[in-house]
Structure 1
Amino acid sequence: MYFSRVTLKLNRLHDVLHQKMQNSGPYAIHQWLWQLFPNQDKRAFLFHEEQIGKGYQYYLLSETEPLSNHDLFSIETKPYQPKLIVGMRLIFSLRANPVVFKNGKRSDVMMNAKYLAKQQGLSSKEIKIRQHDAAINWLIKQSETRGFSLLTTDDQQVHCTVTSYNQQQFSKRRDLKPITYSTVDYQGVLTVTDAELFLNTIYRGIGKSKGFGCGLFLIKHYQ
């Protein structure tokens, strides 16, 4: 596996590309990043977008090494194979698209929690708490089969928080129905419970909308 830091060269975007990025957002970025992996029919990378000032930076995790040169990006790449052991604690950040299924249909975890809380007549403050808890509980449930735990071994408390929640909408083309989904940004500390399984989770990503910049765990050792 390879881990890359890719910076978008905004000065290389002519008017058409600027318009495409404005209208199509994550879909346009996904297409451009895919150009770093020529001759691949299937997406074999995860990415995470960070806004740096007025610019954009992308962290990529890929099965193959990306191109070293591209007109739109500056690219830094290194081999990636984390050494994980059971009990290791890691600081992590994650952008995910947490969903639940109701009556066979996919529903945004945060909006579902808001709907249920409103039915109970809860206050705005209580609704936000319910939404935060619903997002955390989604990640806890995922952790049960993904080789990690959000419960710390010291005090058995969940050391994780939601830092942002955004509803996304974009169109691949003007004549197509807009694509809508939501993103939740998490930050916290996790404990590795199964090293091989969690490594596989890192490599494959977690949750929906991976093609739009969701699902990539960014990790570092907990001091």
Structure 2
Amino acid sequence: MTKRTRRTFSPAFRLEAAQLVVDQNYSVKQADEARMEQAAISWLANEKRLNEWSITLDCQPDVECYSQHRIHKKSGHHVQFSSVDFQGILTVENPDTFFKKYREGFGRAKAMGCGLMMIRPA
């Protein structure tokens, strides 16, 4: 029998979600989506990550799509990950560093087809 683990949320996360429901009349689903969107933006806007990628965000990006995926492997194990589609404008600070990272991919779920970035001149 495999042990199931439940996702745990910090007390701060729970409090902020509850405040959206109580104070702003969000549904529980809307509050969950709003908090997940903010978590995705915080992940992308992490200063250490931006420095590693050699980019700066010109404005806060829009979250176009947030998806959670669960893959069942033949071994019986499950792989779970999330993917986010962002849209926004960024500035490349060091092209050599950025394109090296661009070739490697971004984030931890590259093996699952994530970590891609479409770029075009503004």
TM over 0.5: yes
Q: Which residue of 2 aligns with 1:140?
A: 45
Larger RCO, structures 1/2 (Cα 8 Å, 6+ apart):
1
Q: Which residue of 1 aligns with 2:15?
A: 119
Gaps spanning 5+ residues in structure 1: where? Answer: 1-107
Distance 1:161 1:209 in 2: 20
Residues 21-43 of structure 1, C-alpha deviation per residue, up to 9 Å, x if partnerless?
Answer: xxxxxxxxxxxxxxxxxxxxxxx
Instruction: Report how far residue 199 of structure 1 moved.
Output: 0.9
Q: Which residue of 1 aligns with 2:120?
A: 220
**Conserved? CA contact 1:202–1:217, under 8 Å:** yes
TM-score (norm 1): 0.42
Distance 1:129 1:167 in 2: 15
Distance 1:116 1:131 in 2: 13
Instruction: Report how far residue 220 of structure 1 moved.
Output: 1.0
Distance 1:136 1:179 in 2: 23
Q: Which residue of 2 aligns with 1:201?
A: 101
Rg larger in 1 or in 2? 1
Kindly indicate whether residue 91 of structure 2 is the aligned counterpart of residue 162 of structure 1: no
Name the aligned partner's letter for residue 133 of structure 1.
Answer: Q
Superposition pairs of residues 20-169 of structure 1, within 5 angstroms: 112=9, 116-120=12-16, 121-122=18-19, 123=21, 124=28, 125-141=30-46, 142-150=49-57, 152=58, 157-158=59-60, 160-169=61-70
Instruction: Report how far residue 126 of structure 1 moved.
Output: 4.8
Distance 2:91 2:39 in 1: 20
Structure 1 or 2: more helix by fraction: 2
Aligned-residue identity in percent: 27
Distance 1:133 1:119 in 2: 14
Name the aligned partner's letter for residue 88 of structure 2.
Answer: G
